[in-house]
């Protein structure tokens, strides 16, 4: 029986086949992506570099000698590789467990193809069991708590060291439990236009086209 860490290693390695030599790759954030970044070091001399979705991933890429480009310096990317907190059978995801959702969505939108890497515990029939992260402007959070309550959700400000966690963009995160997201596309469009929401952690407009799923019997490739 493989551990979760070993499954993450497997999919991190498997994602290398989607990296296009000579190009810049979009890189997500999280413990699964960290395995991918470590594997990417073996291709360091074959790629131009990466566009990163967080300060943490940027630091890891640079430490391994992989150049990091600003998203504004480059055009469309051929591929974006990132993890997920949940993924359904259509490639819709919940992301933001690592608080990097806004930059992740920006780099995903800049990429032709989203390759999700995840262990099989992340595959769900309906999104919503994992608390939905929402990046929000601090002055709006209590109003947003009430808006989510009207949908049957319980939203809490994510804390770190007794203070609200501050994202790479200087904003706060709400984690929302009690939702069942049956129409991810409509839900994302709706919540994204609530005043004070920077980004909702539903990735339906930027869903995955491929998922490399780490399973007990090896890496399974799902295409959507």
Q: Which residue ranges make up the site for ligand 5RP (CB under 6 A)? A: 28-32, 82-85, 95-101, 104
Residue 59's alpha-carbon distances to 65, 68, 144, in angstroms, are 10, 9, 32
CB of 123 to ligand 5RP, least distance (A): 13
d(CA 68, CA 86) in angstroms, rounded, equals 27
**Token pair of 95, please?**
């992301």
d(CA 196, CA 46) in angstroms, rounded, equals 42
d(CA 43, CA 218) in angstroms, rounded, equals 23
Closest CA to 179 of 141, 143, 147: 147
Q: Which of 23, 73, 86, 104 is catalytic?
A: 104
CB of 45 to ligand 5RP, least distance (A): 26
Residue with tokens 């470590």, as numbered in its chain:
38
d(CA 129, CA 47) in angstroms, rounded, equals 37
* Residue 120 annotated among the catalytic residues of the structure: no
- Burial track 34-60 (b if 16+ CB lie within 10 A, e otherwise): bbbbebbeeeeeebebbbbbbebbbeb
Q: Give catalytic residues, as residue numbers.
A: 104
């Amino acid at each position: 029986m493989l551990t979760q860490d070993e499954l993450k290693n497997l999919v991190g390695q498997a994602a290398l086949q989607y990296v296009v030599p000579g190009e810049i790759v979009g890189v997500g954030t999280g413990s699964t992506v960290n395995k991918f970044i470590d594997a990417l070091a073996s291709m360091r001399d074959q790629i131009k570099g990466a566009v990163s979705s967080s300060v943490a991933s940027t630091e890891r890429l640079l430490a391994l000698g992989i150049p990091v480009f600003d998203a504004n310096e480059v055009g469309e990317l051929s591929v974006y590789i990132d993890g997920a907190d949940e993924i359904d059978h259509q490639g819709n995801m919940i992301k933001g467990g690592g608080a990097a959702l806004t930059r992740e969505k920006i780099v995903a939108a800049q990429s032709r193809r989203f390759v999700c890497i995840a262990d099989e515990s992340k595959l769900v029939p309906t999104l919503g069991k994992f608390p939905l992260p929402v990046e929000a402007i601090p002055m709006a959070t209590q109003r947003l708590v009430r808006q989510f309550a009207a949908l049957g959700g319980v939203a809490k400000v994510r804390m770190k060291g007794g203070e609200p966690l501050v994202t790479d963009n200087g904003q706060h995160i709400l984690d929302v439990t009690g939702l069942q997201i049956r129409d991810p596309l409509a839900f994302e469009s709706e919540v994204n236009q609530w005043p004070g929401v920077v980004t909702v952690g539903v990735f339906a407009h930027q869903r995955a086209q491929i998922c490399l799923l780490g399973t007990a019997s090896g890496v399974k490739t799902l295409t959507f």
